[in-house]
Amino acid sequence: MNTINTFNENSQGDILIVDDIPENLQLLFTMLSEQGYDVRRVLSGKQALQAAQYDPPDLILLDIKMPEMDGYEVCQKLKSTPETQNIPVIFLSALNDTFDKVKAFEVGGNDYITKPFQLPEVLIRVKNQLELLKAKQALQEKNNELKALNQELESFSYSVAHDLKNPLTNILGFTDILKNKYEKILDQKALHFLNIIHNSGLQMKDIIEDLLRLSQVKYLEMNIEDVNLSELVENSFKGLQNNQNERLIALNINSNIRAKGDHNLLKIALENFCHNAWKYTKYKDITQIEFGLIPPEQQPQIFLEKSENLPIYFIKDNGVGFEMEEAKNLFIPFNRLHDKNQFEGTGIGLSIVFRIIERHHGKIWYDSKVNQGTTFYFTINC
């Protein structure tokens, strides 16, 4: 990540002036020094590049018309070097010179000042660029803090979830023993309490496993290969149907839909999609679920920006759906749109899916209506 140089708190800002005319250098030096800025001066583009590389300034005032290397070329070199690319550049140009403003901005310039220099104009343009730079620095620091905090939270979640696995295994194991060995001895009330303990333990086990998966997805090494998505969806629904074979279900899985990606991660993502569709259609007389693909040439205009001209995969159900306005945090862990007493789950599944699609450089979005079902769309760009 490219960083922005940090201001010296004891200075208004460190400014490098580049101009091949000494009189211009002296005039700007005087103007800015009297306002409390630290000012350095060089007479050529080559010297400017050396000075900026050795000790990057906060701002560069750069003359356009110079021999050997003009200001456009200097700016282009500055912007192509990681150490100097974030330094704002204000171009200097004589009022009667031909000044290509479009080119100035194309090569990375931030503003321009015309000669002869007017003190108020120079000061306000310099001040504006330095204030913008300070704002960028503050934002970058906040982003770094948030990134560090997120990493700490993920490490904490992983550590806690991992450490809870063993004691939870003991709880589930011993409740099984108690149920199997003492079922005839315990009264109904005691058995009821024991079942509550056991079911709560199973719920906690699901949460722990999802937390571990959520923490690991971001850092697992990916192995990109050709993946048959249709097979993964079919296998997932076979498992779900085996556990609830009394449900009437109409599955429409388009055959041989493929994608380039990590097989294991895509398997996890599609299993979560399938479980989600299965869960929210359980009160329907007939569960209707479709998995398919929209090729780029058949995509409606509304999809083009999100798909970036990639195939769009979708999974559609006729379940309870939800209000689109309430779903802005749908991919945030533990966010629920429905009563957990009606629909089981940890509230983490779609967060896992989001991270997996993100790791595949894809996008994910949805369309839903209450009591009419939900469609999830996603792209993969490996």
Q: Do the domain assignments include residue 179?
A: yes
Q: Can you tell me the mean pLDDT for 311-325?
A: 92
pLDDT of residue 33: 93
Q: Can you tell me the mean pLDDT for 329-341?
A: 76
Rounded CA separation 17/28 (Å):
8
Query: CA 250 → CA 60, 77, 318, distances in Å?
Result: 67, 61, 10
**Do residues 168 and 208 share a domain?**
yes
Greater pLDDT, 266 or 160 = 266
Q: Do the domain assignments include residue 270?
A: yes
Q: What is the pLDDT of residues 91-102, one digit of tens each?
A: 998 866 667 788
Q: Do the domain assignments include residue 260?
A: yes
**Do residues 351 and 268 share a domain?**
yes
Pick from 184, 217, 250: which residue ends a domain?
Answer: 217
pLDDT of residue 156: 67
Q: Which residues pair with 251 in a beta bridge?
A: 289
**Do residues 181 and 327 share a domain?**
no
- Of the listed ranges 53-57, 135-139, 212-216, 278-282, the least confidently predicted one is 212-216
- Of the listed ranges 9-13, 62-66, 86-90, 161-165, the least confidently predicted one is 9-13
pLDDT of residue 330: 86
CB 69 within 8 A of CB 43: no
Rounded CA separation 341/77 (Å):
61
Q: Do the domain assignments include residue 367?
A: yes
- Of the listed ranges 6-15, 34-43, 62-71, 248-257, the least confidently predicted one is 6-15
**Do residues 326 and 360 share a domain?**
yes
The position carrying tokens 């979560």 is 272
Pick from 187, 217, 247: which residue ends a domain?
Answer: 217
* Domain containing residue 334: CATH number: 3.30.565.10
The chain-wide mean pLDDT, for the chain, equals 87
Answer whether 0.85 is exceeded by the pTM: no
Confidence of residue 1 (pLDDT cuts 50, 70, 90): very low
High-pLDDT (> 90) share of the chain, %: 53
Query: CA 281 → CA 250, 315, 347, 352, distances in Å?
Result: 11, 13, 17, 21
- Of the listed ranges 26-35, 170-179, 182-191, 345-354, the least confidently predicted one is 345-354
* Domain containing residue 19: CATH number: 3.40.50.2300
**C-beta atoms surrounding 110 within 10 Å:** 19
**Do residues 84 and 208 share a domain?**
no
Q: Do the domain assignments include residue 365?
A: yes
**Do residues 89 and 160 share a domain?**
no
- Between CA 262 and CA 266, with CA 352 as vertex, the angle to 5 degrees is 20
CB 117 within 8 A of CB 29: no
Q: What is the pLDDT of residues 89-135, one digit of tens each?
A: 999 988 666 677 888 899 999 999 988 899 999 999 999 999 999 99
Q: Do the domain assignments include residue 123?
A: no
- Of the listed ranges 18-27, 242-251, 355-364, the least confidently predicted one is 242-251
Confidence of residue 249 (pLDDT cuts 50, 70, 90): confident
- Assign 35 to helix, strand or coil: coil
**Do residues 22 and 164 share a domain?**
no
**b (16+ CB within 10 A) / e for 38-57:** bbbbbbbbebbbebbeeebb
Confidence of residue 346 (pLDDT cuts 50, 70, 90): confident
pLDDT of residue 260: 96
- Between CA 320 and CA 326, with CA 325 as vertex, the angle to 5 degrees is 65
pLDDT of residue 158: 67
Q: Do the domain assignments include residue 361?
A: yes
pLDDT of residue 79: 95
Q: Which residues contact 119 (CB under 8 A, 6 or more apart)?
A: 31
**Do residues 369 and 233 share a domain?**
yes
Rounded CA separation 296/305 (Å):
11
Rounded CA separation 90/121 (Å):
12
CB 129 within 8 A of CB 118: no
CB 349 within 8 A of CB 277: no
Number of C-alpha atoms within 13 angstroms, CB side, residue 23? 3
pLDDT of residue 144: 82
Q: What is the pLDDT of residues 186-243, one digit of tens each?
A: 888 988 898 888 888 887 887 777 777 777 787 778 899 999 999 999 999 998 888 7
Confidence of residue 246 (pLDDT cuts 50, 70, 90): confident
**Do residues 364 and 327 share a domain?**
yes
pLDDT of residue 11: 66
Confidence of residue 142 (pLDDT cuts 50, 70, 90): confident
**Do residues 352 and 373 share a domain?**
yes
Domain total in the chain: 3
**Do residues 211 and 231 share a domain?**
no
Rounded CA separation 202/351 (Å):
21
Pick from 217, 242, 261: which residue ends a domain?
Answer: 217
Confidence of residue 257 (pLDDT cuts 50, 70, 90): very high
pLDDT of residue 145: 80
Q: What residue type is assigned to position 105 of the chain? A: F
Domain hosting residue 174, numbered range: 144-217
Rounded CA separation 316/366 (Å):
10
Which phi and psi (to 5°) does residue 9 adopt? Answer: -65, -20
Greater pLDDT, 152 or 294 = 294
Q: Can you tell me the mean pLDDT for 74-78?
A: 95
pLDDT of residue 210: 75
**Do residues 229 and 110 share a domain?**
no
Q: Do the domain assignments include residue 136?
A: no
